[in-house]
Structure 1
Amino acid sequence: MSSAPLFRFGVIADPQYADLEPNLALNRYPANSLVKLREAIEDFNRHDLAFVVTLGDIIDREWKSFDAILPVYEALRHRKHFLLGNHDFAIAPEHLGSVPGRVGMPSAYYDFGYSGYRFIALDGNEISVFAPPEGDLRRQEAKDLMKAMESAGALNGQRWNGAIGDAQYDWFSAKLREAKASGEKVIVLNHYPIFPDNPHNALNSDRMLALLAEHDHVVAYLNGHNHAGNFGVSDGTYFINFMGMVDTEDSNAYAIVDVYGDRLEIIGFGREANRTLALR
């Protein structure tokens, strides 16, 4: 086994900060996430990381919550990448179109390269009943999707899930082909899981899973959203659902991923598990 990783990066899922009383039924403590995030960033700053990615649900609700949590990230000495989740849109309607800009994202979905890898960051909220503005056709599309899924007995036809639209799907497909042509391995980032089968999966998880099955250079798919965490392997791709930072009163959850030539090593902190994932 090679002694040093090619590179390392940090992962945070679902800090879901808001100045709220705990939700004891769900064991979520939104106000405590500022302290947990500071702790994670202090830890990340002790390591040589290429970047840190936050897999969505930066806030629990309310536009003003961004004003409290985003300054905490300023202590991070590494490059940072954000994705958005469903809770990031639990805000006043006039702010819905401003969320990507508020957190400094180049756009709602994007990609970047690092050391022979292509990271593809998806906007899983595109087709949903919460992220598009009122009256947008994408809201109706989400309702139609959920209705069809309910009829089919699918677990994940839930109003807290979303899907990527056709244009984004085509972009995603093109990025996968480009990476293949360039000899890059791919890691996909999304707020929503697509495997294993779960009530939190993206509304169009089957379509996305089928697309990934066509590409043997997709190493891993990383997501949050299901705070309990999850893990699966399908067609040679690892599906890693990181645990929600917001859960529990004081135990944290975040990770560092070490990328080697022959494997990924996930180093879990707090409730997050350690994993060694051999690459094909």
Structure 2
Amino acid sequence: MTSTPLFRFGVIADPQYADLEPNLALNRYPANSLIKLRAAIDEFNRHDLAFVVTLGDIIDREWKSFDTVLPAYEALRHRKHFLLGNHDFAVASEHLGTVAAHVGMPSAYYDFVHSGYRFIALDGNEISVFAPPEGDPRRQEAKDLMKALERAGALNGHRWNGAIGDAQYDWLAAKLREAKASGEKVILLNHYPIFPDNPHNALNSDRILALLAEHDHVVAYLNGHNHAGNFGVSDGTYFVNFMGMVDTDDTTAYAIVSVYRDRIEVTGFGRETSRTLALR
């Protein structure tokens, strides 16, 4: 086994900060996430990382929560990438169209390349009952997807899940082909899981999973949303669901991912699980 990684990066899922009392039923402590986030950033700053990605649900609710939590990231000495989750849209309706820009994202979905790896960050909220503005046809499309899933007896037809639209799907397919032509391996990033089967999975998880199965250069799919965490392997791709930082009064959850030529090592902090993922 080679001992020097090609690069490392940090992962945070679901800090879900807000100045709120704990949700004891769900064991979530949104106000405590600010302390946990600062501690995670201190740890990340002790390492040589290419970047740190936050996999969505930066806040729990309320626009003002962004103004408290985003400054914490200013202490990070590494490049930062954000994705958005369902809770990031629990804001007043006039802000729905500007969340991505407010967080400093280049767009709601995007990609970037590092050391022979293409990272593809998806917007899993595109079709949902919370992210598009009121009256947008994508809200009805999400309702139709949920009804179809319910009729089929699927686990994931819930209003807290979302889907990617046709244009984004075509963009993803094109990016996968582009990466293949460039000899790049691919790591996908999304707020929503798509595998294994779970109540938190994206509303069109089967469609995305089928697309990824066509490509042997997709090595991993990283997500949050299901705070309990999860893990699976399908068609040679690893699916890693990172645990929610917001959960529990005093324990944290985040990770450093080290990418080697022959494997990927996930080093978990707090409740997060450490794993070694052999590359084919």
TM > 0.5 fold call: yes
1:108 and 1:151 map into 2 onto residues whose CA distance is 30
Output the CA distance in 1 between the equivalents of 2:252 and 2:87: 19
The Cα offsets for residues 198-231 of structure 1, whole Å up to 9 and x where unpaired, read as 0000000000000000000000000000000000
Q: CA deviation at 1:119?
A: 0.1
Runs of 4+ in 1 over 3 A off after TM superposition: none
Q: Which amino acid aligns with 1:218?
A: V
**Distance in 2 separating the partners of 1:163 and 1:244:** 20
Match of 2:236 in 1: 236
What are the residue-to-residue correspondences of 1:68-83 with 2, within 5 Å?
Answer: 68-83=68-83
* Partner residue in 2 for 1:124: 124
Report the CA distance between 1:3 and its aligned residue. Answer: 1.2
- Write the deviation string for residues 144-197 of structure 1: whole angstroms up to 9, x where unpaired: 000011001000000000000000000000000000000000000000000000
Counterpart CA distance in 1 for 2:233 and 2:176 is 19
2:185 match: 185
* SS, match of residue 31 in structure 2: helix
Q: Which residue of 2 aligns with 1:23?
A: 23
**Which aligned pairs between 1:172-211 and structure 2 lie closer than 5 A?**
172-211=172-211
Q: What is the aligned partner in structure 1 of residue 273 from structure 2?
A: 273
Question: Residue 47 of structure 1 aligns to a residue in which SS?
Answer: coil
Q: Which amino acid aligns with 1:53?
A: V
Distance in 1 separating the partners of 2:151 and 2:247: 32
Distance 2:89 2:274 in 1: 31
**Aligned partner of residue 74 in structure 1, secondary structure:** helix
Q: CA deviation at 1:78?
A: 0.1
Query: Matches of 1:120 and 1:77 in 2, distance apart?
Result: 22
- Note the C-alpha offset of 1:36: 0.1
Alpha-carbon distance in 1 for matches of 2:139, 2:20: 28
Distance 2:28 2:41 in 1: 20
Specify every segment of 5 or more residues in structure 1 that has no aligned partner in the other structure, as ranges.
none
TM-score, length-normalised on structure 2? 1.00
Q: 5 Å matches for 1:99-118? A: 99-118=99-118
Deviation at 1:63, TM superposition (A): 0.2
Q: In the aligned structure 1, how far is the partner of 2:197 from the partner of 2:132?
A: 26
TM-score normalised by structure 1 residue count: 1.00
What is the alpha-carbon distance in structure 1 between the residues aligned to residue 24 and residue 12 of structure 2?
Answer: 22
Per-residue deviation at 1:50? 0.1
**Is the partner of 2:209 in helix, strand or coil?**
helix
CA distance in 2, matches of 1:232, 1:111: 24
| 2:164 is the counterpart of 1:159 | no
Paired amino acid for 1:278:
A
In structure 2, distance between residues paired with 1:5 and 1:97? 39
One-letter amino acid matched to 1:51: F
Letter in 2 for 1:121: A
C-alpha distance after superposition, 1:70-126 (max 9, x if no partner): 000000000000000000000000000010001000000000000000000000000
1:39 maps to a residue whose letter is: A
Other-structure match for 1:212: 212
- The number of residues matched between the two structures is 280
Q: Distance in 2 between matches of 1:46 and 1:108?
A: 30
Q: Which residue of 2 aligns with 1:57?
A: 57
Query: What's the counterpart of residue 134 of structure 1?
Result: 134
Distance in 2 of aligned mates of 1:240 and 1:261: 19
Matched residues in 1 for 2:241 and 2:33: separation? Answer: 19
1:141 and 1:278 map into 2 onto residues whose CA distance is 39
Q: Secondary structure at the match of 2:243?
A: coil
